[in-house]
Each structure stands twice: as structure tokens, then as C-alpha cells.
Amino acid sequence: MVNAIMNQNSTPTAHIRTENLNLWFGDKQVLQNVNIPIYDKRITALIGPSGCGKSTLLRCFNRMNDLIPEAKIKGKVLLNEENIYKSRIDVTKVRTKVGMVFQRPNPFPKSIYNNIAYGLKLRGEKKSYIDEVVETSLKNAWLWDEVKDRMSSSAFSLSGGQQQRLCIARAMANNPDIILLDEPTSALDPQSTAKIEELCLELKDKVTILIVTHNIAQAGRISDYTAFMYLGEMVEFDETKRMFTVPKNKRTEAYLSGVFG
Amino acid sequence: MTKRELKQFVGVNLLRIFIAVTAIFLIMFLYVIFSKGGKMVTWSFLTESPRKFMTEGGIFPAIVGTFWLTVISIGISLPLGVFTAIYMVSYGKPAWLVRSVRIAINTLAGVPSIIYGLFGLTVFVQLMKLDVSILSGSLTLAILALPVMINASEEALRSVPKDFREASLALGATERQTILRVLLPTALPNILTGTIISIGRVAGETAPILFTAATFYTRRLPTSIMDEVMVLPYQIYALMTEGAHAEKQVPIAYGTAVVLLLLVLFVSAIAIIIRYNMRKKRKW
């Protein structure tokens, strides 16, 4: 039945969405009344010029903005229709369900194995289970063949592209519903970038993906939906194909055609 | 030679002179100590107890005393310092508390060591009735070492890239798990540096143990931490100022100085090796 729905190209259900989300850093309002649905098992791209608030929005979905003391949030972020900003919610559980990969590859100064096992060990999983998940996660991130003989060597011995795939595998090991990618290829060379893009397309069967990117072409290549943000506002949200061919908003059109960036 | 080349020439050579002066003092220092005390250091000097009120025999009890005082005081100040630093770095609230702690630490760092001795005498020896003992001396030395320990640990923790903390939290770790599993292990080599510095400081201090732990002459070894002990730096002081047989005591004092120097170098070397091995494993 799921296939039938997909074939008809109808809108899938929103896995996570925001409802009138506003965010301030001190007195400065960074997000203005943002409403965006992130659809299940799809890739959604967030694009927009520097400082438009796309990374900030991304970090609302796993409450990483909590780390910034002067951040103030109003509105809702609904994960499977549950507001993750309601009081007495377990933030660590939210972050287990909503994984994240950062702009710069940031593996821990630990072995390859222990990087992937990190999240599982936090929750005290059994060794045999961890071994199994480490292997599948690395396979899913297309890293297994490259590292299977040196699981105990430092994660820093990997190349930048491999490190970023390690970070994806590390996030996937938590078996998240959604993974957030914050410009995951901006520090990588073209080959590594292509590999990560392909990987995203492969992973979207398993997980919902939200990716922030500076690279308009990248959004066009991999995303099903695109959201264009400008000065903290959600200017346009649509299917990528439609937005890239017939943008409804003039600012979207200007941005996509490279008038400003 | 143009003006710029001349400036360069003068500048570089000035630096060379400065470094030469520094090096000369260090070499002279080592030469004086080793030439006067080096020949005293024999196997029996290291392993025997003193005889005839320190005019003959060895300094083994003082080596043992210094060892225990150093180990116990570091054992106390290291966890205290690390935990304080963790609080200041990771929680750091309320701001006024952190600021007062920092002012207190920096003040503590500037206090002359004899005042630590008086404090130890009043609080540990008299008030807490611990008597003149290894424990009292260690506690006093621990307080002395605390500022260095806290500052080094704080710096070490702050120098851990914040990427690691974000990565850990984003994987669903709590703040506590992040500290224990990522922050501390990453900062450990630099915390060890602080410990090395403290060991040198603690092992060589005389004033803080003057009234709290040291005794001039005993033939027996300490059996518990409530015993008073002979200690290397204090022994040097005592040999040079007390007793009536200067011609026999002074060489022993220099011999003791050599042993103290070597002991500190030895302990530091161990810590440096540990740190080197830890650092070799990580790079970022």
C-alpha cells in the first residue's frame, strides 16, 4: 500500500513539522513564524543565503539550540505529532530519534569501532548487539569494506570524506527516524561529495533526511522537497522539481538563478 | 647592510644572548649541585638510615617520606582540582560563583608557601588534631597544589574542541556522559601536564611541611599516615641550619639535594612518558 501511495506521487505524511516557530538569539529574531513539514522517507533540502537561519532551523529539530543560552523559542516542533519543546520531555530521547551530522566531520578521538558504538554504549546495549549494529551501520554508510580490517585504529586515520561517512554511520547506529545534515559536504572534495550524495539517496528508504546546503545544484540533485529561506522566513516550500522549474516567489527565482547568494 | 637587515641582525643576536644567559645559569646550577653532592650519592646513601644525628649514614627515610607526601597530596589535589575545573567549564553557573572561585584560586596561587605551613599547623595539626603527620603535611601540600591543578585542568578541558561535545550531545548523551566519555579522556594528557608541574612543586616545598609533617631525625620508617617523617627538602634546610657538625652535614645536604632533583626528574619523566603515549594515539 505504501508503494501504491508513492507511485501516485501523493503527499506522504509529515514526520516532523514546525508550527509557527519563532526563535530569538537575545533580541535578534532569527526565525519568523516558520511552518515546514518534513515528509517521511523523503529528502528535504533547506536552501538560502548565508545567515538566513537555515542551520538554526535545522538545530531546532533536535534541540541543539538549547546549547546556546541566549536562544529563546516560541512555537512548536512536532515529531510524530508530539511537541519536542513541551516541558518534561526527555531531550536525550529526542536526539536519539533525530540524528545529526555536522558541517565539519567530527569523529571522536576514539577508534572507528568506538565511534559507531558510542550511542549504543550510552544506553548500555549488549556487546553482541553493538557488534552487529556497528557492522550494519558501516555497511549502510558504504564504509565497511574500507575499514573492516582496522576497526580499532583511530577515526582520525580516515580521510575527510570517510570521516563524514563515519559520522553518518554513527548517527544511523542509533536507528533514528530522521537525520539532520548540516552542510555535510561543504568541507569535502568533489568525489567525496558525490559519494555522500549517492549515500543520501540510498538511505532515504530507511530514514527521513533533512539537509541544509549552500549548493543549489546539490539540492536539485538529491532532494524531493526544497525549502527556500530568506532573512529568517520560509519563503517557499515545494517539491524540488516544481520549485526548480517554476518558482512561485520572485525571491526564490532570483536566488535559484544566482542573482544573489 | 640595509637598516632592516641591521635590525634583524641585532634582534636575533639579542635573543641569542638572552638564551645563552639562561642556559649558563641552568648549567651552573646543575654543576654546583652535582659537583658538591654528586659523590655523596652511593647505594648505601640511598638505602640506609641516618646515624649519629645525621652526620653519617643515608637518607632513605627522607626519600620514603617525600615519596608518600607527594603521592598522597597529588592523590588529594588531582581529583579535587579536576572536579572543580569540570564544574567551572561545564556548568559554570551561577556566574558570580565561578568568578569568586577563580579569584580565590588566583589569590591562593600567590600566597607564600610559609603561610600554607601556618594554615596547616592551625587547621590540620591543631584544630583537626591530626598532629604532625604525613596526613597533615599531605593535606597542606594538596591545598598548595590546588591552584595549579585547577588552572591546568580548566585549560585542558576548555581546549577540547566543542565539536566533540556537540557530537556527543547530538547522539543522545547527557551532559554527564559527555563529560565522562569525551571531555575528560580528551583533556587527560593536558591535565597530566598540570600534574607534572604540581609534583615538582610539591616534592620540593619546605615551608608547608615545616610544622605539619617533617621531623629532623628519625631512624625508623613511617608505618602509617599518622606518623611524622623525614623529608628531603626539609632535611636540606635542617642540615644547613641546625646541628654542630657543619663539616659533616653540608656534604650530606648537597647529596640530598642531588637525590631530590633526580627524584623530581624521575617522577616527571614517568608522567611525560605516559602523556606522550596518550598523545601519540590522538590527533585533531
pLDDT in tens, B44-88: 888 888 887 777 788 898 999 999 999 999 999 999 999 999 999
The three cell numbers of residue B149 are: 591543578
Predicted confidence (pLDDT) at residue B271 exceeds the cutoff of 50: yes
Contacts of residue B87, defined as CB under 8 A and 6 or more positions apart, other chains included, come to none
Whether the per-residue pLDDT at A39 is higher than 90: the answer is yes
Identify the pLDDT of residue B242. Answer: 80
B21 part of a folded domain = no
Task: Grade residue B226 by pLDDT with cuts at 50, 70 and 90.
Answer: confident
CB contact under 8 A, B173 and A99: no
* Residue A92 in contact with partner chain B when CB distance is under 8 A: yes
Which residues, at least 6 apart from A72, have a Cβ–Cβ distance to it below 8 Å?
Answer: A23, A24, A25
Residue B7: inside a domain: no
> For residues A209 and A221, what is the distance between their CA atoms, to the nearest angstrom?
14
Please tell me the predicted confidence (pLDDT) of residue A209.
96
Mean pLDDT score across all residues of chain B: 89
- B229 in Cβ contact with B61 (< 8 Å): yes
CA distance A66 to A64: 5
Could you count the other beta carbons within 10 Å of the beta carbon of residue A2?
9
CATH number at residue B154: 1.10.3720.10
Contact call for A156 and B282, based on CB within 8 A = yes
* Percentage of the residues of chain A whose pLDDT score is greater than 90: 83
Element (H, E) at B276: helix B246-280
Determine, yes or no, domain membership for B266: yes
Mean pLDDT across the stretch B142-146? 93
In a domain, B120, yes or no: yes
For residue A54, the model assigns a pLDDT of: 93
Taking an 8 Å cut-off on Cβ atoms, the answer to whether B167 and A102 are in contact is yes
Judging contacts by C-beta atoms under 8 Å, the chain A residues touching residue B171 are 95-96, 99, 118-119, 122, 170-171, 174
pTM for the whole structure: 0.81
Burial class (CB in 10 A: 0-12, 13-18, 19+), B5: exposed
Helix, strand, or coil (residue B240): helix
Number of A/B CB contacts below 8 angstroms equals: 68
Work out how many domains chain B is built from and give that number: 1
pLDDT mean over B132-151: 93
- Nearest Cα neighbor of B152 from B98, B193, B202 is B193
Is B244 a residue whose pLDDT tops 80? no
**ipTM of this model?**
0.90
Nearest CB to B173 within list A62, A92, A100: A92
Q: Which of B166, B177, B284 sits opposite A102 (nearest CB)?
A: B166
CB contact under 8 Å between B172 and A108, yes or no, is no
Nearest Cα neighbor of A210 from A55, A81, A86, A72 is A55
Q: What pLDDT, on a 0 to 100 scale, did the predictor assign at position B86?
A: 92
pLDDT at A8 over 70: no
Separation between Cα atoms, residue B48 and residue B139, nearest integer Å: 28
Report pLDDT for B270: 82
Indicate yes or no: CB of A154 within 8 angstroms of CB of B281. yes
> What's the domain range around B262?
61-280
pLDDT of residue A11: 65
Q: Counting beta carbons within 10 angstroms of the beta carbon of residue B157, is it exposed (0 to 12), middle (13 to 18) or buried (19 or more)?
A: buried
In sequence order, what are the residues at sequence separation of 6 or more whose Cβ sits closer than 8 angstroms to the Cβ of residue B175?
B90, B169
Give the pLDDT score at B228.
Answer: 86
Q: Which CATH superfamily is domain A42-52+88-256 in?
A: P-loop containing nucleotide triphosphate hydrolases (3.40.50.300)
Helices (H), chain A: 2-7, 54-60, 91-97, 112-122, 127-140, 144-147, 160-172, 190-203, 216-222, 240-245, 250-256
How confident is the model at residue B281, as a pLDDT? Answer: 66
Give Cα A62 distance to the centre of its chain.
Answer: 10
Contact yes or no for B283 and A100 at CB 8 A: no
pLDDT score, position A10: 58
The answer as to whether B92 is a domain residue is yes
Interface test with A, best of B171, B175, B180, B280 (most A CBs within 10 A): B171
Q: What is the pLDDT of residue A7?
A: 43
Q: What is the mean pLDDT of residues B140-158?
A: 93
**Is residue B178 a part of any domain in this protein?**
yes
pLDDT value of position B117: 93
End-to-end CA distance of chain A: 42
C-alpha cell at A114: 568506538
C-alpha B85/C-alpha B158 separation (Å) is: 9
pLDDT band for position A55 (cuts 50, 70, 90): very high
CB nearest to A122's CB, from B177, B282, B283: B177
Cell numbers describing residue A238: 515545494
Q: What are the structural domain ranges in chain A?
A: 42-52+88-256
A65-83 confidence digits (pLDDT tens): 998 889 999 999 999 989 9
Is the pLDDT at A2 greater than 70? The verdict is no
Residue A101 has pLDDT above 90, yes or no: yes
Would you call B171 and A95 a contact, using CB atoms and an 8 Å cutoff? yes
Q: What value does the mean pLDDT take over residues A153-157?
A: 91
Q: Which pLDDT does position A4 carry in this prediction?
A: 41
